[in-house]
Structure 1
Amino acid sequence: MAASPYATTQYNSEQFVESCGAILFNLSDSQNKKVCLVYYRAGDEWLLAKGRRNCGESRHEAALREVREETGYKARLYPVTMRTRAPPMDEQGHMPDKPRTYQDLTEPFMVTIRQLGGHNANDIKMIWWYIAVLEEVGIECDGGEKEFMPKFFPLEQAKKMLSFQNDAAVLEQAIHLVDAC
């Protein structure tokens, strides 16, 4: 049996966890776009809403649930134009594996892979990122989880508020995709 010509790492189900998150935008005022960050009280950190995917739950359902739980806001996925290596839904025959531009996608726009360390240095967390908007503008949030405090910020301020550079890179890409629409 031949080895794959590609560098490959495999993880069994005990070695990885999937998380999903969404960058929640308020686009009701196109001249004053805002994004929701969550303040995690215990860590004194500003973060993007995300959390673990439950068994049997789709990734996009997990992303929207986590936004609701951590921010208290109902959201929906926001379609954007983006490049992806995924083939179109109506793929006919073989398509080369290369990036293509598609309009109105609500697919993950980024994935983050973190090495978790701990007792097994090979454990990882995969975070699938989506873009979302408020389902209803002007509706107050219903609280969300008590360890988080949601707050909307203008886009440039939000980039500076985030506690971690990796989150800022995710937000930067989300802003780019939303601004291109």
Structure 2
Amino acid sequence: MATSPNITTQYTSEQFVESSGAILFDLSNGKNKTVCLIHYHAKDEWLLAKGRRNCGESRQEAALREIHEETGYQAHLYPVTMYTRAPPIDERGHMPDIPRLYPDIVEPFMVTMRHLGTDGVKDVKIIWWFIAALDEGVVPGSASGEEQFTPEFFPLQQALEKLSFQNDRDVLREAISLVNTRL
């Protein structure tokens, strides 16, 4: 029996958890865009809103639900122009597996693979990242989410500096780049 020439890691459903998150922007102020971070009180950390996907829930639905639960804000996924290796919805025949530029899509712009456990445990958390914007008429500072979090909007550069973890800064930096390209 042949083996794949590609390095492959497989996980059973007991070994992985899927999460979805979204970078929540307030785009109502033109060039003065802000982004919502959540302050996790128990560990005094500044984070991006994300959480586990429920059974039967799409990744997009999970991202919006988690934003609402953790920040209290109503939002929608924000379409951006980006490269992705996914084929178009109207794919016809074979298409090479290469990045293509798509305008105005609401696909994940990044994925994080977080290895969990120690001592040879092979568990992993897969985090799908989306871009979101406040719904029209929603005012920053007017909502509160789950008790353990306080949401707060920051200017983009300040948010990059405020985040507790470099991985989150990398995700936010990419989201800012995509949002700035679209506007």
> Fold match, TM over 0.5?
yes
**CA 1:136–1:122 in 2, change beyond 3 Å: closer, same or farther?**
same
Partner of 2:147: 146
Partner of 2:133: 133
SS of 2:158's equivalent? Answer: helix
SS of 1:76's equivalent? Answer: strand
- What is the number of equivalent residue pairs in this alignment? 181
Q: Given the alignment of the two structures, is residue 180 of structure 1 paired with residue 181 of structure 2, yes or no?
A: yes
Q: How many percent of aligned residue pairs carry the same amino acid?
A: 66
1:114, 1:124 within 8 Å by CA — same for their partners in 2?
yes
Deviation at 1:30, TM superposition (A): 1.5
Which runs of structure 1 show a deviation greater than 4 angstroms over 4 or more consecutive aligned residues? Answer: none
Q: TM-score, normalised by structure 2?
A: 0.96
**CA 1:96–1:148 in 2, change beyond 3 Å: closer, same or farther?**
same
Partner of 1:94: 94
Partner of 2:67: 67
Q: Residues of 2 paired with 1:8 and 1:99: CA distance?
A: 21
**CA 1:119–1:66 in 2, change beyond 3 Å: closer, same or farther?**
farther
What does the per-residue CA deviation read over 1:111-170, in whole Å, with 9 as the maximum and x for residues that have no partner? 000110147621000000000000133435442101000000000000000000000000
Matching residue's letter, 1:102: Y
Partner of 1:19: 19
Specify every segment of 5 or more residues in structure 2 that has no aligned partner in the other structure, as ranges. Answer: none
Deviation at 1:9, TM superposition (A): 0.4
Partner of 2:49: 49
1:83, 1:99 within 8 Å by CA — same for their partners in 2?
yes
Q: Residues of 1 paired with 2:138 and 2:121: CA distance?
A: 45
Matching residue's letter, 1:159: L
Structural RMSD (CA):
1.1
1:17, 1:52 within 8 Å by CA — same for their partners in 2?
yes
1:25, 1:34 within 8 Å by CA — same for their partners in 2?
yes
Specify every segment of 5 or more residues in structure 1 that has no aligned partner in the other structure, as ranges. Answer: none
